[in-house]
Protein backbone atom coordinates (compact mmCIF):
# COMPACT_ATOMS: atom_id res chain seq x y z
CA UNK A 1 0.00 0.00 0.00
CA UNK A 2 1.29 3.45 -0.89
CA UNK A 3 1.59 6.15 1.77
CA UNK A 4 -0.94 8.94 1.13
CA UNK A 5 0.74 12.36 1.48
CA UNK A 6 0.31 15.92 0.22
CA UNK A 7 3.50 17.20 -1.40
CA UNK A 8 4.41 20.89 -1.44
CA UNK A 9 5.86 21.75 -4.87
CA UNK A 10 5.14 25.49 -4.63
CA UNK A 11 7.76 27.27 -6.74
CA UNK A 12 9.77 24.09 -7.24
CA UNK A 13 10.85 22.44 -10.48
CA UNK A 14 8.89 19.43 -11.67
CA UNK A 15 10.15 17.48 -14.67
CA UNK A 16 7.52 16.26 -17.13
CA UNK A 17 8.50 13.97 -20.02
CA UNK A 18 6.01 14.00 -22.88
CA UNK A 19 4.09 16.46 -25.02
CA UNK A 20 0.69 14.84 -25.59
CA UNK A 21 -2.69 14.83 -23.85
CA UNK A 22 -1.52 12.61 -20.99
CA UNK A 23 1.33 15.01 -20.24
CA UNK A 24 -1.08 17.95 -20.42
CA UNK A 25 -3.39 16.43 -17.80
CA UNK A 26 -0.49 16.05 -15.40
CA UNK A 27 0.78 19.55 -16.25
CA UNK A 28 -2.60 21.01 -15.21
CA UNK A 29 -2.30 19.40 -11.77
CA UNK A 30 1.28 20.53 -11.29
CA UNK A 31 0.53 24.07 -12.47
CA UNK A 32 -2.41 24.31 -10.08
CA UNK A 33 0.04 23.45 -7.27
CA UNK A 34 2.22 26.38 -8.47
CA UNK A 35 5.07 24.21 -9.69
CA UNK A 36 7.59 25.30 -12.32
CA UNK A 37 7.33 22.96 -15.30
CA UNK A 38 10.34 21.58 -17.10
CA UNK A 39 8.92 19.67 -20.07
CA UNK A 40 11.09 17.29 -22.07
CA UNK A 41 9.48 16.27 -25.36
CA UNK A 42 10.44 14.66 -28.63
CA UNK A 43 8.86 17.46 -30.67
CA UNK A 44 8.02 21.15 -30.62
CA UNK A 45 4.53 21.17 -29.08
CA UNK A 46 3.96 24.95 -29.35
CA UNK A 47 1.80 24.37 -32.41
CA UNK A 48 0.55 20.84 -31.72
CA UNK A 49 -0.34 21.38 -28.07
CA UNK A 50 -0.81 25.09 -27.30
CA UNK A 51 -2.37 24.42 -23.88
CA UNK A 52 0.77 22.67 -22.67
CA UNK A 53 2.90 25.47 -24.06
CA UNK A 54 0.78 28.02 -22.16
CA UNK A 55 1.07 26.03 -18.94
CA UNK A 56 4.86 25.95 -19.25
CA UNK A 57 5.04 29.69 -19.95
CA UNK A 58 2.64 30.57 -17.11
CA UNK A 59 4.72 28.55 -14.65
CA UNK A 60 7.87 30.38 -15.76
CA UNK A 61 9.21 27.01 -16.76
CA UNK A 62 11.08 25.71 -19.76
CA UNK A 63 10.57 23.25 -22.60
CA UNK A 64 13.33 21.14 -24.15
CA UNK A 65 13.08 19.27 -27.46
CA UNK A 66 15.50 16.33 -27.38
CA UNK A 67 15.43 16.05 -31.17
CA UNK A 68 16.66 19.60 -31.54
CA UNK A 69 19.16 19.16 -28.72
CA UNK A 70 20.36 15.94 -30.43
CA UNK A 71 20.45 14.22 -27.05
CA UNK A 72 18.65 11.19 -25.67
CA UNK A 73 15.91 11.51 -23.06
CA UNK A 74 18.26 9.84 -20.57
CA UNK A 75 20.93 12.51 -21.02
CA UNK A 76 18.43 15.34 -20.71
CA UNK A 77 16.74 13.85 -17.66
CA UNK A 78 20.00 13.34 -15.76
CA UNK A 79 20.79 17.02 -16.29
CA UNK A 80 17.32 18.32 -15.40
CA UNK A 81 16.81 16.27 -12.24
CA UNK A 82 19.09 18.57 -10.24
CA UNK A 83 16.89 20.22 -7.55
CA UNK A 84 13.73 18.69 -9.05
CA UNK A 85 10.85 17.93 -6.69
CA UNK A 86 9.49 15.08 -8.80
CA UNK A 87 9.33 13.62 -12.28
CA UNK A 88 6.37 12.49 -14.38
CA UNK A 89 6.93 10.27 -17.43
CA UNK A 90 3.92 10.63 -19.74
CA UNK A 91 5.32 9.72 -23.11
CA UNK A 92 4.27 6.38 -24.59
CA UNK A 93 6.35 7.01 -27.69
CA UNK A 94 9.64 6.23 -25.97
CA UNK A 95 8.61 2.59 -25.30
CA UNK A 96 8.54 0.49 -22.15
CA UNK A 97 12.30 -0.17 -22.05
CA UNK A 98 13.10 3.55 -22.14
CA UNK A 99 10.43 4.29 -19.54
CA UNK A 100 12.07 1.74 -17.26
CA UNK A 101 15.47 3.42 -17.74
CA UNK A 102 14.06 6.87 -17.03
CA UNK A 103 12.28 5.62 -13.92
CA UNK A 104 15.48 3.95 -12.69
CA UNK A 105 17.38 7.24 -13.06
CA UNK A 106 14.84 9.01 -10.86
CA UNK A 107 14.97 6.23 -8.25
CA UNK A 108 18.77 6.36 -8.25
CA UNK A 109 18.65 10.11 -7.64
CA UNK A 110 15.93 9.72 -5.00
CA UNK A 111 13.46 11.78 -7.02
CA UNK A 112 9.80 10.70 -6.75
CA UNK A 113 8.69 9.38 -10.15
CA UNK A 114 5.36 8.62 -11.76
CA UNK A 115 5.14 6.69 -15.02
CA UNK A 116 1.62 7.08 -16.40
CA UNK A 117 -0.29 3.78 -16.47
CA UNK A 118 2.78 1.86 -15.28
CA UNK A 119 2.34 1.44 -11.51
CA UNK A 120 5.23 -1.02 -11.33
CA UNK A 121 7.59 1.78 -12.42
CA UNK A 122 6.19 4.40 -10.04
CA UNK A 123 7.31 5.51 -6.60
CA UNK A 124 4.18 7.66 -6.34
CA UNK A 125 0.82 7.82 -8.09
CA UNK A 126 -1.66 10.62 -8.75
CA UNK A 127 -4.96 10.08 -6.91
CA UNK A 128 -8.39 10.99 -8.21
CA UNK A 129 -9.10 14.37 -6.64
CA UNK A 130 -12.23 16.16 -5.44
CA UNK A 131 -11.58 19.88 -4.95
CA UNK A 132 -13.54 22.48 -3.02
CA UNK A 133 -11.26 25.52 -2.89
CA UNK A 134 -8.62 24.82 -0.25
CA UNK A 135 -10.22 21.47 0.48
CA UNK A 136 -9.06 18.48 -1.51
CA UNK A 137 -10.06 14.84 -1.17
CA UNK A 138 -7.80 12.25 -2.77
CA UNK A 139 -8.82 8.71 -3.72
CA UNK A 140 -6.11 6.19 -4.54
CA UNK A 141 -6.11 2.54 -5.56
CA UNK A 142 -2.30 2.35 -5.67
CA UNK A 143 -2.59 2.55 -9.45
CA UNK A 144 -4.42 -0.79 -9.63
CA UNK A 145 -7.93 0.40 -10.51
CA UNK A 146 -7.97 4.02 -11.76
CA UNK A 147 -11.49 3.66 -13.18
CA UNK A 148 -12.78 2.70 -9.74
CA UNK A 149 -11.03 5.72 -8.24
CA UNK A 150 -12.80 7.97 -10.75
CA UNK A 151 -16.15 6.37 -9.94
CA UNK A 152 -15.61 6.99 -6.24
CA UNK A 153 -14.62 10.56 -6.99
CA UNK A 154 -17.95 11.10 -8.74
CA UNK A 155 -19.83 9.81 -5.70
CA UNK A 156 -17.89 12.04 -3.32
CA UNK A 157 -18.41 15.02 -5.63
CA UNK A 158 -22.15 14.59 -5.14
CA UNK A 159 -21.80 14.47 -1.34
CA UNK A 160 -19.71 17.60 -0.76
CA UNK A 161 -21.40 21.00 -1.18
CA UNK A 162 -19.39 23.51 -3.18
CA UNK A 163 -19.29 25.82 -0.14
CA UNK A 164 -16.95 23.49 1.73
CA UNK A 165 -14.05 25.53 0.38
CA UNK A 166 -15.47 28.64 2.04
CA UNK A 167 -15.79 26.70 5.31
CA UNK A 168 -12.12 25.73 5.12
CA UNK A 169 -11.14 29.36 4.52
CA UNK A 170 -13.27 30.52 7.46
CA UNK A 171 -11.59 27.98 9.73
CA UNK A 172 -8.21 29.28 8.58
CA UNK A 173 -9.33 32.82 9.34
CA UNK A 174 -10.03 31.95 12.99
CA UNK A 175 -7.34 29.36 13.58
CA UNK A 176 -4.86 31.58 15.43
CA UNK A 177 -7.56 33.26 17.53
CA UNK A 178 -8.99 29.92 18.61
CA UNK A 179 -5.53 28.67 19.54
CA UNK A 180 -4.95 31.80 21.63
CA UNK A 181 -8.36 31.60 23.34
CA UNK A 182 -8.39 27.83 23.95
CA UNK A 183 -4.97 26.78 25.14
CA UNK A 184 -5.46 23.01 25.44
CA UNK A 185 -5.85 20.63 22.49
CA UNK A 186 -9.02 18.93 23.78
CA UNK A 187 -10.93 22.23 24.09
CA UNK A 188 -9.81 23.33 20.64
CA UNK A 189 -10.86 20.08 19.04
CA UNK A 190 -14.29 20.28 20.63
CA UNK A 191 -14.71 23.88 19.52
CA UNK A 192 -13.89 23.01 15.92
CA UNK A 193 -16.11 19.92 15.92
CA UNK A 194 -19.02 22.06 17.12
CA UNK A 195 -18.23 24.77 14.59
CA UNK A 196 -17.64 22.63 11.54
CA UNK A 197 -20.71 20.49 12.15
CA UNK A 198 -23.06 23.06 13.64
CA UNK A 199 -24.96 26.33 13.02
CA UNK A 200 -21.90 28.22 11.80
CA UNK A 201 -21.25 25.64 9.08
CA UNK A 202 -24.91 25.70 8.03
CA UNK A 203 -24.71 29.47 7.58
CA UNK A 204 -21.62 29.08 5.39
CA UNK A 205 -23.42 26.51 3.23
CA UNK A 206 -26.29 29.01 2.88
CA UNK A 207 -23.88 31.74 1.78
CA UNK A 208 -24.21 33.79 5.00
CA UNK A 209 -20.56 34.25 5.93
CA UNK A 210 -21.17 37.25 8.18
CA UNK A 211 -23.74 35.34 10.23
CA UNK A 212 -21.32 32.43 10.49
CA UNK A 213 -18.62 34.79 11.80
CA UNK A 214 -21.04 36.19 14.38
CA UNK A 215 -21.84 32.67 15.64
CA UNK A 216 -18.15 31.82 15.95
CA UNK A 217 -17.39 35.08 17.77
CA UNK A 218 -20.22 34.44 20.23
CA UNK A 219 -19.19 30.87 20.94
CA UNK A 220 -15.56 31.85 21.42
CA UNK A 221 -16.56 34.46 23.96
CA UNK A 222 -19.17 32.49 25.91
CA UNK A 223 -18.78 28.73 25.57
CA UNK A 224 -16.80 26.49 27.93
CA UNK A 225 -15.26 23.64 25.97
CA UNK A 226 -13.34 22.12 28.90
CA UNK A 227 -16.38 20.53 30.59
CA UNK A 228 -16.47 17.04 32.10
CA UNK A 229 -16.17 14.25 29.57
CA UNK A 230 -18.69 11.72 28.40
CA UNK A 231 -18.75 7.96 27.79
CA UNK A 232 -20.07 6.33 24.62
CA UNK A 233 -21.07 2.71 25.12
CA UNK A 234 -21.14 1.46 21.54
CA UNK A 235 -22.01 -1.92 20.11
CA UNK A 236 -19.51 -2.82 17.40
CA UNK A 237 -21.63 -5.63 16.00
CA UNK A 238 -20.41 -9.11 15.13
CA UNK A 239 -17.41 -8.15 12.97
CA UNK A 240 -18.55 -6.88 9.57
CA UNK A 241 -17.84 -3.10 9.64
CA UNK A 242 -20.74 -2.46 7.27
CA UNK A 243 -23.11 -3.50 10.05
CA UNK A 244 -22.12 -0.53 12.25
CA UNK A 245 -24.80 2.10 12.79
CA UNK A 246 -24.21 5.63 11.48
CA UNK A 247 -24.31 6.95 15.03
CA UNK A 248 -21.70 4.43 16.15
CA UNK A 249 -19.37 5.52 13.36
CA UNK A 250 -19.83 9.21 14.23
CA UNK A 251 -18.97 8.65 17.90
CA UNK A 252 -16.01 6.44 16.98
CA UNK A 253 -14.62 9.36 15.01
CA UNK A 254 -14.80 11.88 17.85
CA UNK A 255 -13.65 9.88 20.89
CA UNK A 256 -10.43 10.83 22.71
CA UNK A 257 -9.78 7.40 24.20
CA UNK A 258 -11.06 3.95 23.22
CA UNK A 259 -11.51 0.88 25.40
CA UNK A 260 -12.03 -2.22 23.28
CA UNK A 261 -12.24 -5.97 23.75
CA UNK A 262 -11.06 -8.98 21.77
CA UNK A 263 -14.38 -9.36 19.94
CA UNK A 264 -13.95 -6.02 18.14
CA UNK A 265 -12.63 -6.80 14.66
CA UNK A 266 -9.48 -5.11 13.32
CA UNK A 267 -11.45 -3.67 10.40
CA UNK A 268 -13.72 -1.90 12.86
CA UNK A 269 -10.79 -0.53 14.88
CA UNK A 270 -9.50 0.99 11.64
CA UNK A 271 -12.57 3.27 11.68
CA UNK A 272 -11.73 4.75 15.09
CA UNK A 273 -10.21 8.23 15.08
CA UNK A 274 -6.54 7.70 14.29
CA UNK A 275 -5.09 9.86 17.05
CA UNK A 276 -7.34 8.45 19.80
CA UNK A 277 -5.66 6.64 22.67
CA UNK A 278 -6.42 2.91 22.51
CA UNK A 279 -6.62 0.68 25.58
CA UNK A 280 -7.22 -3.06 25.27
CA UNK A 281 -9.39 -4.56 28.00
CA UNK A 282 -10.14 -7.88 26.37
CA UNK A 283 -11.42 -10.84 28.32
CA UNK A 284 -11.22 -14.52 27.49
CA UNK A 285 -12.43 -17.59 29.30
CA UNK A 286 -10.38 -17.99 32.49
CA UNK A 287 -8.17 -15.04 31.46
CA UNK A 288 -9.66 -11.67 32.36
CA UNK A 289 -6.79 -9.33 31.44
CA UNK A 290 -8.69 -6.42 33.00
CA UNK A 291 -11.29 -7.20 35.69
CA UNK A 292 -14.72 -5.66 35.16
CA UNK A 293 -14.49 -3.48 38.28
CA UNK A 294 -11.24 -2.00 36.97
CA UNK A 295 -12.81 -1.30 33.57
CA UNK A 296 -15.64 0.54 35.32
CA UNK A 297 -13.14 2.70 37.22
CA UNK A 298 -11.05 3.43 34.10
CA UNK A 299 -14.11 4.65 32.20
CA UNK A 300 -14.97 6.94 35.11
CA UNK A 301 -11.42 8.18 35.53
CA UNK A 302 -10.94 9.23 31.90
CA UNK A 303 -14.39 10.85 31.75
CA UNK A 304 -13.64 12.92 34.87
CA UNK A 305 -10.45 14.10 33.14
CA UNK A 306 -12.66 15.67 30.48
CA UNK A 307 -12.13 12.98 27.85
CA UNK A 308 -14.75 11.60 25.50
CA UNK A 309 -14.47 7.91 26.18
CA UNK A 310 -15.54 5.23 23.71
CA UNK A 311 -16.32 1.83 25.20
CA UNK A 312 -16.44 -0.39 22.13
CA UNK A 313 -17.97 -3.82 22.61
CA UNK A 314 -18.47 -6.69 20.20
CA UNK A 315 -22.12 -7.34 19.36
CA UNK A 316 -24.61 -5.39 21.46
CA UNK A 317 -23.43 -3.95 24.80
CA UNK A 318 -26.65 -4.93 26.59
CA UNK A 319 -26.72 -8.58 25.50
CA UNK A 320 -24.21 -10.52 27.61
CA UNK A 321 -21.86 -7.53 27.31
CA UNK A 322 -22.01 -6.23 30.91
CA UNK A 323 -22.75 -2.78 29.53
CA UNK A 324 -25.41 -2.27 32.15
CA UNK A 325 -22.82 -2.61 34.93
CA UNK A 326 -20.58 -0.03 33.32
CA UNK A 327 -23.17 2.69 32.84
CA UNK A 328 -24.62 1.97 36.29
CA UNK A 329 -21.21 2.92 37.71
CA UNK A 330 -21.06 6.05 35.55
CA UNK A 331 -24.57 7.14 36.50
CA UNK A 332 -23.80 6.72 40.20
CA UNK A 333 -20.89 9.14 39.77
CA UNK A 334 -22.76 11.72 37.69
CA UNK A 335 -20.99 11.12 34.38
CA UNK A 336 -22.91 11.64 31.13
CA UNK A 337 -23.14 8.66 28.79
CA UNK A 338 -24.73 7.50 25.56
CA UNK A 339 -25.60 3.94 24.59
CA UNK A 340 -25.55 2.88 20.94
CA UNK A 341 -26.94 -0.60 20.29
CA UNK A 342 -25.16 -2.99 17.95
CA UNK A 343 -26.29 -5.98 15.95
CA UNK A 344 -25.97 -8.89 18.33
CA UNK A 345 -24.11 -12.05 17.32
CA UNK A 346 -27.24 -14.20 17.27
CA UNK A 347 -28.99 -12.03 14.69
CA UNK A 348 -25.92 -11.61 12.48
CA UNK A 349 -24.72 -15.21 12.61
CA UNK A 350 -28.18 -16.52 11.86
CA UNK A 351 -28.75 -14.10 8.98
CA UNK A 352 -25.38 -14.74 7.37
CA UNK A 353 -25.99 -18.49 7.65
CA UNK A 354 -29.46 -18.48 6.14
CA UNK A 355 -31.13 -19.41 9.43
CA UNK A 356 -34.14 -17.25 10.36
CA UNK A 357 -34.45 -17.17 14.13
CA UNK A 358 -38.23 -17.16 13.86
CA UNK A 359 -40.41 -18.58 11.14
CA UNK A 360 -44.17 -19.14 10.95
CA UNK A 361 -43.75 -22.86 10.25
CA UNK A 362 -40.89 -23.54 12.65
CA UNK A 363 -40.45 -21.15 15.59
CA UNK A 364 -42.64 -18.44 17.10
CA UNK A 365 -40.06 -17.30 19.66
CA UNK A 366 -36.32 -17.15 20.21
CA UNK A 367 -34.31 -17.23 23.41
CA UNK A 368 -30.75 -15.93 23.91
CA UNK A 369 -28.89 -17.92 26.58
CA UNK A 370 -25.42 -17.62 28.07
CA UNK A 371 -23.54 -20.90 27.99
CA UNK A 372 -20.78 -19.57 30.22
CA UNK A 373 -19.75 -22.13 32.84
CA UNK A 374 -19.71 -21.00 36.45
CA UNK A 375 -17.35 -23.09 38.59
CA UNK A 376 -17.54 -25.78 35.92
CA UNK A 377 -21.33 -25.93 36.01
CA UNK A 378 -24.07 -24.63 33.69
CA UNK A 379 -27.15 -24.02 35.78
CA UNK A 380 -30.20 -23.32 33.62
CA UNK A 381 -33.95 -23.95 33.83
CA UNK A 382 -33.71 -26.76 31.29
CA UNK A 383 -37.42 -27.53 31.44
CA UNK A 384 -38.14 -24.07 29.97
CA UNK A 385 -36.00 -24.82 26.89
CA UNK A 386 -37.93 -27.78 25.48
CA UNK A 387 -40.51 -26.05 23.27
CA UNK A 388 -39.97 -27.29 19.70
CA UNK A 389 -41.44 -24.01 18.44
CA UNK A 390 -38.70 -21.98 20.14
CA UNK A 391 -35.21 -21.32 18.75
CA UNK A 392 -32.35 -21.39 21.26
CA UNK A 393 -29.16 -19.41 20.75
CA UNK A 394 -26.28 -20.07 23.12
CA UNK A 395 -23.55 -17.46 23.52
CA UNK A 396 -20.17 -18.51 24.95
CA UNK A 397 -21.33 -22.11 24.86
CA UNK A 398 -18.41 -24.00 23.27
CA UNK A 399 -17.00 -25.35 26.54
CA UNK A 400 -20.48 -26.28 27.74
CA UNK A 401 -21.59 -27.97 24.49
CA UNK A 402 -21.61 -31.48 25.97
CA UNK A 403 -23.67 -30.30 28.93
CA UNK A 404 -26.09 -28.42 26.66
CA UNK A 405 -26.59 -31.47 24.46
CA UNK A 406 -26.95 -33.95 27.33
CA UNK A 407 -29.25 -31.83 29.48
CA UNK A 408 -31.62 -30.82 26.68
CA UNK A 409 -31.98 -34.45 25.56
CA UNK A 410 -32.29 -35.71 29.13
CA UNK A 411 -35.11 -33.23 29.79
CA UNK A 412 -37.02 -34.25 26.67
CA UNK A 413 -35.78 -32.33 23.64
CA UNK A 414 -35.34 -34.58 20.60
CA UNK A 415 -31.80 -35.84 19.97
CA UNK A 416 -32.42 -35.16 16.26
CA UNK A 417 -33.08 -31.44 16.76
CA UNK A 418 -31.11 -29.55 14.08
CA UNK A 419 -28.18 -27.56 15.46
CA UNK A 420 -25.77 -25.08 13.85
CA UNK A 421 -22.47 -23.76 15.17
CA UNK A 422 -21.44 -20.44 13.61
CA UNK A 423 -17.81 -19.43 14.11
CA UNK A 424 -16.58 -15.87 13.36
CA UNK A 425 -19.98 -14.87 12.05
CA UNK A 426 -20.40 -12.15 9.38
CA UNK A 427 -16.72 -11.91 8.39
CA UNK A 428 -14.85 -13.77 5.61
CA UNK A 429 -13.52 -16.31 8.14
CA UNK A 430 -17.07 -17.43 9.02
CA UNK A 431 -17.60 -21.18 9.30
CA UNK A 432 -20.90 -22.95 9.84
CA UNK A 433 -21.20 -26.57 10.96
CA UNK A 434 -24.59 -28.29 11.09
CA UNK A 435 -25.33 -31.38 13.18
CA UNK A 436 -28.05 -32.93 15.27
CA UNK A 437 -28.30 -31.98 18.94
CA UNK A 438 -26.92 -35.40 19.84
CA UNK A 439 -23.88 -34.92 17.58
CA UNK A 440 -23.13 -31.36 18.73
CA UNK A 441 -20.04 -32.19 20.88
CA UNK A 442 -18.56 -34.34 18.12
CA UNK A 443 -19.11 -31.59 15.53
CA UNK A 444 -17.22 -29.08 17.65
CA UNK A 445 -14.32 -31.47 18.08
CA UNK A 446 -14.11 -32.66 14.46
CA UNK A 447 -14.12 -29.14 13.05
CA UNK A 448 -11.95 -27.63 15.79
CA UNK A 449 -14.40 -24.78 16.33
CA UNK A 450 -12.94 -21.78 18.18
CA UNK A 451 -14.43 -18.74 19.86
CA UNK A 452 -16.16 -16.47 18.99
CA UNK A 453 -19.02 -18.74 18.05
CA UNK A 454 -22.71 -19.17 18.76
CA UNK A 455 -24.80 -22.34 18.84
CA UNK A 456 -28.26 -22.24 17.25
CA UNK A 457 -30.72 -25.00 18.15
CA UNK A 458 -34.10 -25.52 16.54
CA UNK A 459 -35.93 -26.65 13.41
CA UNK A 460 -35.18 -23.30 11.70
CA UNK A 461 -31.66 -24.65 11.11
CA UNK A 462 -33.17 -26.87 8.38
CA UNK A 463 -33.73 -23.79 6.24
CA UNK A 464 -30.04 -23.04 5.82
CA UNK A 465 -29.80 -25.15 2.65
CA UNK A 466 -32.33 -22.91 0.90
CA UNK A 467 -31.39 -19.56 2.38
CA UNK A 468 -27.63 -19.54 3.04
CA UNK A 469 -25.86 -16.91 0.95
CA UNK A 470 -22.65 -16.02 2.77
CA UNK A 471 -20.64 -19.25 2.49
CA UNK A 472 -20.90 -23.04 2.47
CA UNK A 473 -22.05 -25.07 5.46
CA UNK A 474 -20.46 -28.30 6.66
CA UNK A 475 -22.55 -31.15 8.01
CA UNK A 476 -21.80 -33.71 10.67
CA UNK A 477 -24.04 -36.76 10.28
Q: What is the pLDDT of residue 474?
A: 66
How much is the pTM? 0.70
Within the chain, which residues score under 70 in pLDDT? 47, 226-228, 283-289, 375-376, 469-477
From the candidates 71, 101, 283, 475, which is the catalytic residue? 283
Look up 179 and say whether it is catalytic.
Answer: no
DSSP state of 374: B
427 φ/ψ angles, rounded to the nearest 5 degrees: -115, 165
Q: Which residues contact 107 (CB under 8 A, 6 or more apart)?
A: 113, 123
CA atoms within 13 A on the CB side of 270: 7
CA 45 – CA 43 distance, rounded (Å): 6
Neighbours of 426 (CB within 10 A): 24
**pLDDT for position 433:** 93
The predicted structure's pLDDT at residue 476: 67
pLDDT at position 228 is 66
| CA count, 13 A, side-chain hemisphere, 354 | 16
Taking the C-alpha atoms of residue 61 and residue 51, their distance in angstroms, rounded to an integer, is 14
* Length of the chain as a residue count: 477
Task: Give the active site residue among 36, 261, 313, 316.
Answer: 261
Count other C-beta atoms under 10 Å from residue 181's C-beta: 14
256 in catalytic set: no
Angle between helix axes 209-222 and 164-181 (nearest 10 degrees) is 20
Q: Supply angle C-alpha 372, 373, 377, rounded to 5.
A: 145
337/253 Cα distance (integer angstroms): 16
Residue 88, pLDDT score: 96
Question: Can you give the pLDDT at residue 284?
Answer: 61
Q: Are 302 and 309 in contact (CB under 8 A)?
A: yes
Q: What is the pLDDT of residue 477?
A: 60
Q: What is the pLDDT of residue 287?
A: 56
Q: For residues 72 and 66, is the Cβ–Cβ distance under 8 A?
A: yes
Amino acid sequence: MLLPVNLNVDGGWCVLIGGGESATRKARLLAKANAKLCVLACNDFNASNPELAELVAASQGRAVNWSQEQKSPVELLEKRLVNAHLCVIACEGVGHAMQRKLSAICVKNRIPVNVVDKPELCTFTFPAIVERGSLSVAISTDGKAPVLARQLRSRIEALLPSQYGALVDLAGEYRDRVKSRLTDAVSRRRFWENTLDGPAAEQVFSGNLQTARHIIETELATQDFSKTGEVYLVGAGPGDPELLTLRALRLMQQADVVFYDRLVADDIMELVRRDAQRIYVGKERANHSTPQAEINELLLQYALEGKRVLRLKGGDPFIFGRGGEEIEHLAANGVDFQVVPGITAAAACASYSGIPLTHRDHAQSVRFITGHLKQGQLELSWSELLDEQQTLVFYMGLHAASTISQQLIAHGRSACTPTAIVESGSIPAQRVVVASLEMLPRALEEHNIRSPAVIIIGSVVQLHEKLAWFNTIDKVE
